[in-house]
Amino acid sequence: MSEQIHKYQAELAKLIKYHTGQDGGHGTVIPSLFFSHFSDAAGPFYGVHKPSLCIVVQGMKEVLLSQELFRYGPADYLVTSVNLPIIGQVTEASSEVPYLALKIEFTPNEILEVLGDFQIGVSKKENTKRGMYVNLIELPLLDAVARFVRLLDNPEDIPILAPLIKKEIIYRVLQGRHGAVLGQIAVEGSSAYQISDAIEHIMNNYDRAIRVEELAEIANMGVSSLHRLFKEVTAMSPIQFQKQLRLQEARHLLLTEAAGAADVAFRVGYESPSQFSREYSRLFGLPPKEDIKRLKESYDQRINA
């Protein structure tokens, strides 16, 4: 990497440390900007990655999408073009060199606006590709990101300058090697756009039975095309996608509410508590009760450390 890239990364590391101060994930006064700070290897973390740009300035991270592994560090950036249920793991971090990273979330309307403003052409007929990719970091993108993060030190500038710099960041991502993956998701009529409609429907209705024929109708394509293209974008079938959403929401409910596993199973759409327990154990490594106990004990240890 060039000396200039190292300079930007050192500046971003300093800013992230200043605005976080402690381990964990942190929001900022810029609603779409988030920081991560970990002094040790951490995870696995289960969640839904929204359309976003993720940059690591120190340390390493792995993201598992179904059975596909994405590994990235300071030499790379990761882009997600649609909502995707993932498992993340910080693999390199220490108290001397903590893991420091940032995420900037995008909306399809923001992407579409940049495509229109800069007259960037994206083919509707281009082959549908995975909705997540890793690319080598580029100096113009890092420069724009650094200016975006610097706005935190001048909050009065955020309402005017943040939207402008964010447009530039999206533009830089679209100009990157795999930028069309992000662009297609905002172009009406493209296969990626149609699959994003199906994804949104599952996200909003994860707790009820969904027929593949219904999804195909929403995506305006045949059932076989829906299956094939959905898997190309998300690395999983619609049913597998829904199952991950159900299990992640169930874990969240078990952690935050005084509810039993059977009650939560029904709330997220399972008809059989035993099936729920089996699938929960398969994803999280332990049955619901034991997993939640482990999580709470781990949290207490960190608080009392």
Determine the 3-state secondary structure of 131 from DSSP: coil
* DSSP structure class, residue 210: -
Per-residue pLDDT at 101 = 98
The pLDDT tens digits of the residues spanning 163-220 come to 999 999 999 999 988 888 888 888 777 888 899 999 999 999 999 999 999 999 999 9
Sheet with 76-80, side-by-side order of all strands? 24-27, 33-38, 99-105, 52-58, 76-80, 132-136
Per-residue pLDDT at 17 = 96
| Six-digit token string for 91 | 């693999």
On whether the CB atoms of residues 6 and 78 are closer than 8 A, the answer is: no
Q: Which backbone phi and psi does 13 adopt, to 5 degrees?
A: -60, -45
CA pair distance 183, 195, nearest whole angstrom: 14
| Six-digit token string for 135 | 């690319």
* Nearest residue to 273 (alpha-carbon basis) of 255, 254, 256: 254
Per-residue pLDDT at 305 = 52
CA pair distance 21, 46, nearest whole angstrom: 23
On whether the CB atoms of residues 279 and 285 are closer than 8 A, the answer is: no
Per-residue pLDDT at 84 = 96
Per-residue pLDDT at 189 = 78
On whether the CB atoms of residues 131 and 193 are closer than 8 A, the answer is: no
Determine the 3-state secondary structure of 56 from DSSP: strand
pLDDT less than 70: residues of the chain:
1, 120-127, 299-305
Residues 6 or more apart whose Cβ sits within 8 Å of residue 250: 264, 265, 267, 268, 276, 280, 288
Per-residue pLDDT at 205 = 96
CB atoms within 10 A of CB 27: 10
Total-model pTM: 0.91
Burial class (CB in 10 A: 0-12, 13-18, 19+), 245: buried
Looking at residue 251, its amino acid is R
On whether the CB atoms of residues 82 and 196 are closer than 8 A, the answer is: yes
Torsion sign (Cα): 266, 270, 276, 280 = negative
Domain ranges for the chain, please list them. Answer: 3-184, 241-304
* Nearest residue to 195 (alpha-carbon basis) of 210, 180, 185: 185
Within 73-126, strands assigned E span 76-80, 84-92, 99-105
| Six-digit token string for 45 | 């973390």
What is the second-level CATH architecture of the domain 241-304? Answer: Orthogonal Bundle (1.10)
Place of tokens 């390199």: 92
Q: Which backbone phi and psi does 170 adopt, to 5 degrees?
A: -60, -40
On whether the CB atoms of residues 95 and 60 are closer than 8 A, the answer is: no
Domain 3-184 class?
mainly beta
The pLDDT tens digits of the residues spanning 156-175 come to 999 999 999 999 999 999 99
Q: Is the peptide bond before 288 cis (omega within 30 degrees of 0)?
A: no
Q: State the greatest distance between any 2 C-alpha atoms of the chain, in Å, as a whole number.
A: 58
